[in-house]
Amino acid sequence: GTLIWPNPTTDEFEINFSDSPGSLVIEIYTSSGSLIFRKDFTDYAGHNIALQALSGKPQGIYLIKLKTGKGTFVSKIIKFND
């Protein structure tokens, strides 16, 4: 499985994978569908990634899409200003 925490977040959040995802693309979209962050990994062997992709962004609901060699995972992430 995949876990995104903390959610809600104020800035940094982590993505935890139960199994190494292999190829990985991380995309984050605004609630209106604009792509605001994208990062590609050709062969990611780890289980955790810490991101500050929402730093400086307005509070609201964002959509995170993870495309791996094993499929696509989509989740909402809520950003609060601290």
Angstrom distance (rounded) from CA 36 to CA 57: 9
Report residue 67's pLDDT band, with 50, 70 and 90 as the boundaries: very high
Q: What is the mean pLDDT of residues 46-67?
A: 95
Residue 82 has pLDDT above 80, yes or no: no
Question: What pLDDT, on a 0 to 100 scale, did the predictor assign at position 69?
Answer: 86
Q: Contact at 8 Å (CB) between 65 and 53?
A: no
Angstrom distance (rounded) from CA 26 to CA 54: 13
Q: pLDDT digit string (tens) for 15-56?
A: 999 999 999 999 999 999 999 999 999 999 999 999 999 999
Query: Which has more pLDDT, 9 or 69?
Result: 9
